[in-house]
Amino acid sequence: MTGFHGFADRRSAGRLLATRLPEFAGRDVIVLGLPRGGIPVAYEIAATLRAPLDLFSVRKLGVPGHEELAMGAIASDGANALNYDVIGALGISREEVQRVVERESLELERREAAYRGDRRRPDVSGKVVILVDDGLATGASMLVAAQALRERNPARIVVAVPIGPPETCAMLRNYADDVICYATPRRFGGVGAWYDDFSQVTDDEVRELLHRAAMW
């Protein structure tokens, strides 16, 4: 996008991204944010569309000792996607991968309990599901989210993010029915580089936004 310089914060990114989604207003839609950073973005989209908001918990599987590098991702319902190119190139053993999967599975369980409480997971069967995060890098987390959701028989899966490299957005079109990336700069440099405020979203903020959306 010519002249694009980034976003003020996640909420403003969500409002801009919502301008690309008017066709989904008034349809049987549910907006699912990937915690934690995707929730403020998803909140603004759900508010614009007057659609239900919920979360879909996914965790990146970081390479041991280099956790910022993804070797895959897992979803709260047990679905997973592993990047065997990364695992093979770095010589990561099956036992090391399993240890990371077990650790991140515990964190997924904690987050589900912290955010959802006793609320049931939403029924997405026959609905248009808009999957939202604050940006894409490798796309591993969004890929596993889309794969896991496909098993629940939605009418359509729409991936919507404010920012991502063009090759990642293109890759996800193999797994989702629509992929809407507001900006796809070729010189990417990481998701956080495109936000003035990319401070960590807290558990309390996630709970507050879900609570507000439940009152629509």
Q: How far apart are CA 161 and CA 182, in angstroms?
A: 7
| pLDDT the model gives residue 193 | 95
pTM, two decimals, is 0.87
The answer, yes or no, to whether residue 138 has pLDDT greater than 80, is yes
CATH of 60-115, picked from 3.30.1310, 1.20.120, 3.40.140, 3.40.50, is: 3.30.1310
| pLDDT the model gives residue 80 | 83
Residues of the chain with CATH 3.40.50.2020: 10-58+123-214
For residues 166-192, average pLDDT: 95
- CATH class for the region spanning 10-58+123-214: alpha beta
Q: Which of 22-31, 115-124, 172-181 has the lowest mean pLDDT?
A: 115-124
| pLDDT the model gives residue 1 | 52
Query: CB within 8 A of 209, min separation 6: which ones?
Result: 39, 40, 43, 53
pLDDT band at residue 2 using 50, 70 and 90 as cut-offs: low
Q: Furthest-apart CA pair in the chain: how many Å?
A: 50
The answer to whether 95 touches 5, Cβ cutoff 8 Å, is no
| Beta bridge partner(s), residue 62 | 70
For residues 158-171, average pLDDT: 97
**Cα separations in angstroms, 214 against 13, 172, 178, 208:** 21, 29, 26, 10
Q: How far apart are CA 127 and CA 7, in angstroms?
A: 30
pLDDT band at residue 3 using 50, 70 and 90 as cut-offs: low
Residues of the chain with CATH 3.30.1310: 60-115
Helix (H) or strand (E) holding 29: strand 29-33
